[in-house]
Amino acid sequence: MASMNMIQALNNALDITLASDPDTLIFGEDVGYFGGVFRVTDKLQEKHGLTRCFDAPISEGGIIAAAIGMGAYGLRPVVEIQFADYILPAYDQLVSEAARLRYRSGGEFWAPLTVRSPYGGGIFGGQTHSQSPEAIFAHITGLKTVIPSNPYDAKGLLIAAIECDDPVVFLEPKRIYNGPFDGRPDQAMKTWAGHKDAEVPEGHYTVPLGKAAITRPGSEVTVLAYGTMVHVALSAIEESGLDAELIDLRSIVPLDIDTIVASVKKTGRCVIVHEASRFSGFGAELSALIQERCFYHLKAPIGRVCGWDTPYPHAFEWDYFPGPARIIRALNSAMEN
Amino acid sequence: MASMNMIQALNNALDITLASDPDTLIFGEDVGYFGGVFRVTDKLQEKHGLTRCFDAPISEGGIIAAAIGMGAYGLRPVVEIQFADYILPAYDQLVSEAARLRYRSGGEFWAPLTVRSPYGGGIFGGQTHSQSPEAIFAHITGLKTVIPSNPYDAKGLLIAAIECDDPVVFLEPKRIYNGPFDGRPDQAMKTWAGHKDAEVPEGHYTVPLGKAAITRPGSEVTVLAYGTMVHVALSAIEESGLDAELIDLRSIVPLDIDTIVASVKKTGRCVIVHEASRFSGFGAELSALIQERCFYHLKAPIGRVCGWDTPYPHAFEWDYFPGPARIIRALNSAMEN
Amino acid sequence: MPDKTRLQLYIPKPQARPGEPVNFDGLVVPEAGSVRRPDPLGCEADMRDMPFSLVRVLDEGGHAVGPWAPDVSPDLLRKGLRAMLQTRLFDDKLFRLQRQGKTSFYMKSTGEEAIGAAQSLMLGQGDMCFPTYRVLSWLMARDYPLINLVNQLFSNEKDPLKGRQLPVLYSARDYGFYSLSGNLGSRFGHAVGWAMASAYRNDDKIALGYVGEGTTAEGDFHEALTFAGVYHAPAILCVTNNQWAISTFAGIANPRDTTFAAKAIGYGIPGLRVDGNDFLAVCAATQWAAERAHANLGSTLIEFFTYRAAGHSTSDDPTKYRPVDEPVHWPLGDPIVRLKTHLITIGEWDEARHDALTAELTEEINAAVREGEAVGTLGKSKPPVAEMFEGVFKEPDWRVIEQRKELGI
Amino acid sequence: MPDKTRLQLYIPKPQARPGEPVNFDGLVVPEAGSVRRPDPLGCEADMRDMPFSLVRVLDEGGHAVGPWAPDVSPDLLRKGLRAMLQTRLFDDKLFRLQRQGKTSFYMKSTGEEAIGAAQSLMLGQGDMCFPTYRVLSWLMARDYPLINLVNQLFSNEKDPLKGRQLPVLYSARDYGFYSLSGNLGSRFGHAVGWAMASAYRNDDKIALGYVGEGTTAEGDFHEALTFAGVYHAPAILCVTNNQWAISTFAGIANPRDTTFAAKAIGYGIPGLRVDGNDFLAVCAATQWAAERAHANLGSTLIEFFTYRAAGHSTSDDPTKYRPVDEPVHWPLGDPIVRLKTHLITIGEWDEARHDALTAELTEEINAAVREGEAVGTLGKSKPPVAEMFEGVFKEPDWRVIEQRKELGI
Ligand SMILES: Cc1ncc(C[n+]2csc(CCOP(=O)(O)OP(=O)(O)O)c2C)c(N)n1
Ligand SMILES: Cc1ncc(C[n+]2csc(CCOP(=O)(O)OP(=O)(O)O)c2C)c(N)n1
Ligand SMILES: [Mg+2]
Ligand SMILES: [Mg+2]
C-alpha cells in the first residue's frame, strides 16, 4: 500500500500494464518525453522505451484511428486526448468505427482501445478545458464510459478498462487529480494525503466496470454522482444533516442499475448530480430509468443538479458549477414533498 | 395551395429563399448539378445559378466550417449533409464552433447556418444510412434541432430555420419524404397525395421553431413523437382505440415544454416514441422533464418506445424499428396502472 | 497595396455534362514505358516528379514495356484475369438481382477490377487490405467463397455478417479484407495504425489502404497520411481516382492543375501516379511500394488513375450527370480487355480459353446465386433475430438482455 | 516478392533534449535575397520549387536585398517595430501578472512578433484575420486598446467578452480579428468560408488564416485547404512553424524531408516558405499572396519559419523538454532586433529613439494595467452574472430564463 494522488495512481496503472503486457502501448499529444501536460505518463517513455509511450501529432481523429487499427491487429492501445473537450474531432472515429467494429464485422474485428482524457471543470479552464461530454458517449451503442472519483478506483478501473475487449472512454476528473474537491473554492485546497481511497495497493488489481460504489450509505434520499461531484455531493450531504445514500456510479456504461434501483426503492427519493449541462445530459437517462423502475416507490420528484444550459463560462465558474448550496437545496426539496 | 410531398415542399422552401434573399446559398455533396441524392435541391442550380447551389468536396467538416465562415461574413448558408450519419465527422465544427461562436465572442460573430440532413430509418439503409442522432445535438448548448413530420411543416420550418440567426440542425425523416409511413412495412406504400398536411401554400410562410403541434387531441394518455414516428404513433393510437393525445414536437430545441406539460397534466399518462436507441436518447430528457414538472399528476410510469440499444441492424430493420405493436403495448401498459 | 478588383466565386465544372460532347482534352497520357522507375529504396526527395507523370506498362499492342514492366508469371496474370472477369460477371448478375428486389443495394466496380485483383495477388496472405466498397476483385483473386458474398447480399440466414451490415460492405479477416463500413475514409487511418502495430511487433506484415478520389477531401485522409509519414508506417496507401464521386467530378476534390498523387509530397512520402486500367502497372507499382515498406522505409501513396464505368450504385443513373457515352471514350481502355490482349500477345491465352473461362465463371456465379436463393433472398430469410442483440460488446449488458426479452426472443 | 525483413516502429526524436548540446544541423538557411520571386499572377505549376527554399530579405548587415525586398515606407516599418515591441513588453508584463494570480492564464508570442504585425499592416481594414493565440501583434499593429486586452485578461467587469472566454482568446471584429477558441485548427476553414463569401458577394476583402505547425496535423487543416484550392478562395493561409507544439517538436507533425509549405502542392495552390523573423520578408510574402488573391487567383499557403522563444504558456516550463539555451541559438535571430537594425541601417531609426519608444510603450502598458487593476483582477471583479445566460442563442429560451431565476439573478 502507498498513498497516491490520482495522477500517481493512473501513472502506476499504466506502468504496471506496460510492464506486464507487451501488447499495450501509449500515445497521445505530449505524452512521451514530457510525460503529458498533467504528468500522467511521466517517466513511462524513459522506463519502457520510445515505442511504448510516444508523442502523437495534434490530430485526435488520427490518434483514435491509429489506435483502432492497432487494436484490430491485436494490440491494446491506450491513448490520451489532452482534454475531453478535444475528443470531438475524433467523435466519428469513436462512434462510427471503434464502437461499431465488432458488431458490423460479425465479430471478426474489434477495437480494444482505451481513450483516457482529463475532464470536467473547476480549474478556471474556460469553455474548452472544462466540459463534461459524457452524455454524447453514453448514447452510443458499443462504447463504455468510465469516470473514477478517487485514486484507488482510478487505478483499478483503468487497468480494467485496458484489459477490456471493448472500446472504453476513460474520463479523468482533472479537478481532483491532486486532491478531493468538495465544491467550496474559497476553502484551502486539500490533497489526497490521508484520504482512505488514496491508499493504493502497489500491484495489479482491477475495479470491475459496471459496479457502482456506495460512498455513503443512508436511508432518506439517494444521491447519484460520479467524478468530482461525488466529493461535492458528500460535502453537501454532510452539511444538510440528512441521512442520504450517496452512490458513485464509477462507470455510466455499463451502468449498475441494480444498485441504483435498490437504493431508490429504499429511500423513495433521489437527487442526481453532474457537472455537464442539464438538457439531454446523462442525468436525464438516470431520471428516466428510475421513474420507470421505481415509480411506485417515489415520494417526490427526482431532482437534477447540473451545469446550466450554457457553454462553460470562464469568469462565472462558481456560478455555473453545481456546488453544495444547489445540491442542498435539491436535497431539501426532495425531502419536502 | 398545391399538393406536395416532403421533397417538393423542401425544394420549394429553398427555391423561395434563394429567390428572395441573395445572402442565402446552398452547397453540399451532389446538391448542385444533380440536385441531391434525394432530389431536394433539384433544379435549383439551373434556376438560380452556379454560385447559389453547388457541389462540395466529400468533407462534412469542411462544409460546415466553410458555412460558419460564410455566416460570420454575413451570409446565410444552407448546407446538406448527405445522411445524418455523416454529420459526425463535422461534429466538432457544429459543437465547438457553430454553437459557441456567438457566446464566446460576446456577440461579435455568429453562425446563422442551417444544416439539412436526411435522417432516420425504415429504408433498409443499414447501420450508416438509418441512424437518428438527435440526442447528441439536443445536449449541445447553442444548437437548435428541428425535425418535421409532414410537407406543410417541412416547408415552414425550413424557411424559419434559414431565417433564424442561430445554427439549426434540420433533420429530414427520409422514410416519409414520399409518403407518410405508419410503421407497417407489409402494407402498400402511401403517397402524400390527399393528406391534409400535404396541402402547401405556394408562397413564403414560416412555422415557428419551438412550437409543437397537437396532431390528435385526446384525454387518456399523451404520446410524444417527432418525424416518422408521428405517423407510426398515430396509427398505433387508432388501432389501440384509446383517446390518446398525440403531440408532434417539430423541434426538440427549442422544446415546447408548455404544450407537453399541459397535456400530461391533463392525461396523467405519457408514452414517448423515437427511433433512436433508448439509452441516453432524447426520450430520457422528455421523461425527466415530465416527471419533474408533472410528478403529482402522473398516474403511471412514463413509457419509452425506442430503437433497441444496438447499432442499426440491416436485416432486422423491422425487429429494431419501434413499430405500432410496441407502441400499443406501451399505451396499454400506461393505461393499466 | 495591390489593385483591388471585384472578386468572383469560382465553382469548378466538369468538361462535359449530358448532351455535351465527351471531352477528355487536357488529359495527358504518356506512352507506356516512358516513365522512369526510381530505386524503391531511394530518397523521397528525389522522386517528386513521379506524381506528375503516369506509370504505364501495357502499350497499344499489348506488350509490356519499359522499366516498370514487372516480373510476373503468366500464371499470376491468368489468375488476375480470372478474378477481374469474375468480378465483372458477378457485378452484372447482382445488379440485375437488385433490380428484382433480391438484395437491397448493390455497387459495381466495373472498369476498376485491375486494382484490387493485382494488389491482392502481389501482397502476402498475412497482409491486410483496408478496402472501399469497390475492391471486390481483391476477394475474387483470393478465392473468397462466392456463396458468402451472395448470402450477405441477400441478408439471409447464412449471411456471414449475421444480418448486421449492408450488402457490399463485406468483412473477411482470413482473406486479408478489413471490415467495410458506409462511412467514407474512416478506415484509412486504421490501415496506418495496423501497419504501425506490425512494425511495433517486429512483424513482416504490411497494410494496404484505399480511398476514392472524392474521399481524399475528408480529414481522415490527411490524418492517416500524417501518421504514415511521421512514423514511417509500412503501408501502401491508394487513391482510386475513378473521376467521379456519385455525380461529382474529381475537380471538386482537387484542382485539375495538381494530382492526387502529389499530395504525398507534403507528407514526405513518395507519390506514384499509375494507370489503374493497366494490370501490369498496378502489379509493378504495388511491388515497388511493398519493397519500400518491407525495407522499413515507410509508406507510399499511389494514385490509380481509372474510370468508374458504371453508375455509382443501384441508386443512381449516371446518364443524368455525365454524357451517356463518356465511359466508352475513356482513353485508358478496359482493364480486362487490356490484360487479355497482353496474355494473347505473349502466347499465354486465346479467345477459346477466354470463352471457356467466361462460361465457367458464369456457371459458378449462377450456382452460388442458386444456392443463396435456396437459403432465401432479402426479406425471405434472415439470421436469427437474437443476432441483433449480440456483438454490441463482447458480453451483452443488461440493456440488450432485457430488450431481447422484451422482444420475446 | 520482396525480401521480408523484420519491421521496426520508427518514432522521430528532436535533435536535442535538455542536457544535450543545441543542434540546428541540417537547417539550411539560404542567403537573404537569393531566392527567386515568381510572378504573383503566374501559374502554380511553375512555383513548386518555392516550398523548398526560404524567402529572406534582411541580410546580416540589416540591408533589404533581393527580388523580394518590398516597397514599404519607413513609417510602416516603424509602425511594425512599435507593434512588435509593444507585444514583447506586454507579454512580459502579463506573464508576471499571471504569476501573481491576476489572470488565470497567459501565452506569449516571443520571437514571432513579426508575423502578425507585418500582416496586419499589409492587409486592409476590411480584411479578416482568423488568428491563433500567438498573433497579438496583429492587434497591436492596429492600435487595439490595451485596456480591452487587460480587462479580458483579468476577466473583470469590463471584459469585452463578458466573462465568457479564456484570457488570450480575444475577439475584435472591428480590428479584423476573428473570435479565438481553445480548439486548435477549427477556424482555418472559417477563413476559407469567409473568403468564399467575399468572392460570392463580389466584395474585395480577403481572409487570412493561421495555424501552428503542430496543428497542421488536424483534419480541419486539410479540409480548409481542399476548399481553398477547389473554389479559389481569396485567402492567405499561414502555418506558423515555430518548431514546437508544447513539448513536441515539428518532426511529429511532418517528416524533416519535406516542409509545411510543400503541403500546398497537393492542393494546387502556391506554397511559400518564408523567414518569419524577417519583418520585410513577411511583408513581401503577404503582399505577393494578397495580390494573387485580389486577382481572383485564389489562395496561397505560407509557412513562416520561426521559433517559439518562450514557453508554450504559463502552464509549462520549456527547459523540461528542450535545451535551456536553444532559443538563443536560433539561427534566424530576433525579429525585433533585425527590424531595428534595418531601420538604423537605412537611417530611419536610432538607439535613442528606440529607448524612448520602449519607455513610452512600457508606460502605456503600465497605465492600462493600472486601469484594469482598478476595475479588478481575476476573482476580484467580474461581469454581471446575467451574462452567463445571455448569448447562447440570439434570444434566450425558457431553459436559461428558468435557470437564471433559479440562480436568483
Ligand atoms: C462520410 C461520408 N460522407 C458521404 C457519404 C455518401 N457517399 C457515399 S459514396 C460517395 C462518393 C464517393 O466517391 P469516391 O470517394 O470518389 O469513391 P467512388 O464511389 O468513386 O469509388 C458519397 C458522397 C458517405 N458514405 N460517407
Ligand atoms: C483540438 C485541440 N487539441 C489539443 C489541444 C491542446 N493544445 C493546445 S496548444 C497545443 C500545441 C499547439 O502547437 P502549434 O500548433 O505548433 O502552435 P504553437 O503553440 O506552437 O503556436 C496543444 C496540443 C487543443 N487546444 N486543441
Ligand atoms: Mg471516385
Ligand atoms: Mg508550434
For the stretch A228-275, pLDDT in tens is 999 999 999 999 999 999 999 999 999 999 999 999 999 999 999 999
Does the beta carbon of C189 lie under 8 angstroms from any beta carbon of chain D?
A: no
Cβ contacts of C126 on chain A, cutoff 8 Å: none
Does the beta carbon of B268 lie under 8 angstroms from any beta carbon of chain A?
A: no
Q: Coil, helix or strand for A222?
A: strand
Closest C-chain CA to D44:
C257
Q: Is the pLDDT of residue A337 over 70?
A: no
CA within 13 Å, CB half, C123: 35
| Residue C239 and residue C130 share a domain | yes
C371 occurs within a structural domain: yes
Mean pLDDT of chain C, nearest integer: 97
Strand D128-130 and strand D248-249: the pairing is: unpaired
CB contact under 8 A, B128 and C166: yes
Q: Coil, helix or strand for D283?
A: helix
Show the DSSP H helices in chain A as ranges: 6-20, 44-48, 60-73, 91-92, 101-104, 134-138, 151-163, 228-240, 257-267, 282-294, 317-320, 324-336
| Residue D404 and residue D295 share a domain | no
Handedness of CA A9, A13, A14, A20 (dihedral sign): positive
D27 occurs within a structural domain: no
Chain A from 32 to 71: CB within 8 A of any B CB: none
Show the DSSP H helices in A144-281 as ranges: 151-163, 228-240, 257-267
Q: Which of A26, A63, A64, A70 to mutate to test the interface with C (most CBs of C within 10 A)?
A: A70
| Residue D270 and residue D399 share a domain | no
Task: Identify the band that residue C4 occupies on the pLDDT scale cut at 50, 70 and 90.
Answer: low
Q: What stretch of H or E contains C287?
A: helix C279-294
Output phi, psi for A168, to 5 deg: -125, 130
Cα–Cα distance, A221 to A263 (Å, whole number): 8
CA B189 from centre of chain: 21
- All three cell numbers of A80, joined, read 490520451
Asked if residue B324 lies in contact with residue B183, where contact means CB atoms within 8 angstroms, the answer is yes
Residues in CB range of C408: below 8 A, 6 or more apart: none
pLDDT at D3: 52
**Distance to chain D for B107, nearest Cα, Å:** 7
| Residue D280 and residue D212 share a domain | yes
- All three cell numbers of D243, joined, read 518548431
Instruction: Judge if the beta carbon of residue C376 lies within 6 A of ligand 1.
Output: no
Regions of chain B where pLDDT drops below 50: none
pLDDT (average), residues D50-67 = 97
Distances (CA, A) of D159 to B99, D89, D151, D394: 21, 21, 5, 20
Torsion angle, alpha carbons of C80, C86, C91, C97, to 10: -170
Q: Coil, helix or strand for A78?
A: strand
**Which CATH number goes with the domain that contains D105?**
3.40.50.970
Select from B100, D131, D265 the least CA-distant residue to C262: D265
pLDDT at A207: 98
Cα–Cα distance, D297 to A180 (Å, whole number): 58
Concatenate the DSSP letters of all residues of B316-327 into one string. THHHHS--HHHH
CB contact under 8 A, B104 and D165: yes
- All three cell numbers of C75, joined, read 500464371
Chain D from 191 to 250: CB within 8 A of any A CB: 214-215, 217-220, 245-248
The residues of B annotated with a catalytic role in the active site are 60, 129
Of D4, D11, D205, the CB nearest to C294: D4
Question: pLDDT tens for residues B126-143?
Answer: 999 999 999 999 999 999
C227 occurs within a structural domain: yes
Task: Identify the band that residue D205 occupies on the pLDDT scale cut at 50, 70 and 90.
Answer: very high
Task: Identify the band that residue A1 occupies on the pLDDT scale cut at 50, 70 and 90.
Answer: confident
Q: Which atom of ligand 2 is nearest to the CA of B92?
A: 1
Closest D-chain CA to A279:
D399
Longest dimension (CA), chain C: 76
Mean pLDDT of chain A, nearest integer: 97
Q: Is the pLDDT of residue C152 over 70?
A: yes
Q: Coil, helix or strand for A304?
A: strand
**Distance to chain B for A243, nearest Cα, Å:** 23
CB contact under 8 A, B316 and C382: yes
Cα–Cα distance, D110 to D309 (Å, whole number): 6
Distances (CA, A) of A274 to A173, A227, B253, D68: 12, 9, 21, 58
B–D interface: beta-carbon pairs under 8 A: 139
DSSP D55: B
Determine the residue type at D154: F
Closest C-chain CA to A101:
C179
Question: pLDDT tens for residues D219-271?
Answer: 999 999 999 999 999 999 999 999 999 999 999 999 988 999 999 999 999 99
Strand D248-249 and strand D244-245: the pairing is: antiparallel
| Residue D204 and residue D240 share a domain | yes
The model's pTM is: 0.98
| Residue C308 and residue C195 share a domain | yes
Q: Coil, helix or strand for A136?
A: helix
Q: How many residues does chain C have?
A: 409
pLDDT (average), residues C201-210 = 98
| Residue C394 and residue C331 share a domain | no
Distances (CA, A) of A202 to A35, A116, A156, A172: 20, 21, 11, 20
Show the DSSP H helices in D61-177 as ranges: 74-99, 113-122, 136-141, 146-153
For C181-215, give the secondary structure using H, E and C: CCCCCCCHHHHHHHHHHHHHCCCCCCEEEEEECHH
Does the beta carbon of A210 lie under 8 angstroms from any beta carbon of chain C?
A: yes
Chain A from 189 to 218: CB within 8 A of any B CB: none
Strand A244-248 and strand A213-216: the pairing is: antiparallel
CA D66 from centre of chain: 25
Residues in CB range of D240: below 8 A, 6 or more apart: D112, D115, D132, D134, D210, D211, D212, D213, D276, D304, D306
pLDDT at C61: 95
C19 occurs within a structural domain: no
Q: Coil, helix or strand for B39?
A: coil
Strand A53-55 and strand A213-216: the pairing is: unpaired
Instruction: Judge if the beta carbon of residue C253 lies within 6 A of ligand 1.
Output: no
Determine the residue type at C311: G
% of chain C with per-residue pLDDT over 70: 99
Asked if residue C392 lies in contact with residue A142, where contact means CB atoms within 8 angstroms, the answer is yes
Of A30, A86, A315, the CB nearest to D183: A86
Instruction: Judge if the beta carbon of residue C134 lies within 6 A of ligand 1.
Output: yes
Question: Cell 456506495 belongs to which residue?
Answer: A214
Kindly list the protein residues that place their beta carbon closer than 5 angstroms to ligand 3, a single-atom ion.
C 212-214, 242, 245
Longest dimension (CA), chain B: 60
C396 occurs within a structural domain: yes
Q: What stretch of H or E contains D130?
A: strand D128-130
Domains of chain B: 2-200 (3.40.50.970), 213-336 (3.40.50.920)
Cβ contacts of B105 on chain D, cutoff 8 Å: 161, 165, 171, 173, 179
Cα–Cα distance, A56 to D16 (Å, whole number): 18
Q: Is the pLDDT of residue D5 over 90?
A: no
Question: Cell 431565417 belongs to which residue?
Answer: B163
Closest C-chain CA to B309:
C400
| Residue D359 and residue D407 share a domain | no
CB atoms within 10 A of CB A191: 12
The complex's ipTM? Answer: 0.98
Cα–Cα distance, C196 to C232 (Å, whole number): 8
| Residue C176 and residue C97 share a domain | yes
D247 CA to centre of ligand 4 in angstroms? 9
Q: Which residues line ligand 2 (CB under 6 A)?
A: A 29, 58, 82, 86, 89; D 132, 134, 182-184, 212-215, 240, 242, 244-246, 308, 312
Closest D-chain CA to C264:
D266
Task: Identify the band that residue C341 occupies on the pLDDT scale cut at 50, 70 and 90.
Answer: very high
DSSP D107: -
pLDDT at D4: 63
pLDDT at C24: 94
Does the beta carbon of B316 lie under 8 angstroms from any beta carbon of chain C?
A: yes
Question: pLDDT tens for residues D382-409?
Answer: 999 999 999 999 999 999 999 999 999 9
pLDDT at C26: 86
Domain that holds residue D197: 44-313+321-378
Does the beta carbon of A139 lie under 8 angstroms from any beta carbon of chain B?
A: yes
C231 occurs within a structural domain: yes
**Order of all β-strands in the sheet with D271-275:** D128-130, D207-212, D235-241, D300-305, D271-275
Angle of helix B257-267 relative to helix B282-294, nearest 10 degrees, comes to 60
Cβ contacts of A86 on chain C, cutoff 8 Å: none
DSSP bridge partners of D245? D248
Instruction: Judge if the beta carbon of residue C182 lies within 6 A of ligand 1.
Output: yes
pLDDT (average), residues C187-211 = 98
Concatenate the DSSP letters of all residues of B157-213 into one string. HHHHHHH-SS-EEEEEEGGGSSS---S-TTSPPP-STT-GGGEE-SS-----TT--E
CB atoms within 10 A of CB B20: 11
Q: Is the pLDDT of residue C3 over 70?
A: no
Cα–Cα distance, C287 to C82 (Å, whole number): 20
Residues in CB range of C233: below 8 A, 6 or more apart: C192, C195, C196, C199, C207, C227, C298, C299
Q: Coil, helix or strand for B283?
A: helix
Select from C226, C191, C203, C208 the least CA-distant residue to C289: C208
C295 occurs within a structural domain: yes
pLDDT at D1: 45
CB contact under 8 A, A280 and B277: no
Task: Identify the band that residue C256 occupies on the pLDDT scale cut at 50, 70 and 90.
Answer: confident
| Residue C367 and residue C222 share a domain | yes
pLDDT (average), residues A283-299 = 98
Residues in CB range of D16: below 8 A, 6 or more apart: D22, D23, D322, D323, D326
pLDDT at D2: 47
C248 occurs within a structural domain: yes
CB contact under 8 A, A92 and B88: yes
DSSP A39: S
| Residue D203 and residue D89 share a domain | yes
CA within 13 Å, CB half, D229: 31
Q: First vs last Cα of chain D: how many Å apart? A: 75
| Residue D183 and residue D48 share a domain | yes
The domain total for chain C is 2
Mutate to test the pocket of ligand 1, among C215, C244, C254 (most ligand atoms within 8 A of CB): C215
A85 CA to centre of ligand 2 in angstroms? 13
B42 CA to centre of ligand 3 in angstroms? 22
pLDDT (average), residues D94-114 = 96
Burial class (CB in 10 A: 0-12, 13-18, 19+), C73: exposed
Instruction: Judge if the beta carbon of residue C213 lies within 6 A of ligand 1.
Output: yes
